[in-house]
Amino acid sequence: MPRYVWVLGGLVWWTACPGNGGLGGEDAGGVPPEQRNRELRACILQRLPPAEATATEWKVSGYVLVDAYVKCQREREPEQATAADFRSVVRELAELDADTSLVRIIVPPGEGAP
């Protein structure tokens, strides 16, 4: 067989191996994706401006949410910071508000990440 076929086969096998971002279901650190998302959500909540003590609704600027995500991601795995990753992390944390510049945090103030 030609050499390039073996090289191509090796690359396909390598990308499908666990730990290489392939089909294994874990990232390079051996952390399952759901646990990683929970840790990122907790970090993001710590970086958001605090809600008022009597607030039942918690809104922040979309820029603040993205900035918190980027800072938390930079501490852990900067190469994972993609739009798809942001959506998967923030899905259980925030919803769009009627005012398009704000997002509503769906985790009550003072509670941890879901």
The distance from CA 65 to its chain's CA centroid, rounded to whole angstroms, is: 11
pLDDT exceeding 90 applies to what percent of the chain?
18
What's the pLDDT band for 24 if we cut at 50, 70, 90? very low
| pLDDT tens digits for range 55-106 | 667 889 999 999 999 999 888 887 777 888 899 899 888 888 888 889 988 8
Domain count, the chain: 1
Q: Which whole number is the average pLDDT over 25-40?
A: 77
Residue 9 has pLDDT above 80, yes or no: no
Domain with residue 46: its CATH number is: 1.10.10
Contact 62, 94 (CB under 8 A): no
Please give the helix or strand (H or E) that residue 94 lies within, else none. strand 94-96
Q: Six-digit token pair at 68?
A: 């918190």
In a domain, 6, yes or no: no
In a domain, 7, yes or no: no
Contact 69, 94 (CB under 8 A): no
The distance from CA 81 to its chain's CA centroid, rounded to whole angstroms, is: 7
What is the reported pTM?
A: 0.67
Enclosing domain of residue 96: 32-114
Question: DSSP H helical segments within the chain, as ranges?
Answer: 3-16, 33-47, 62-76, 83-90
Task: Map tokens 């945090």 to a residue.
Answer: 105
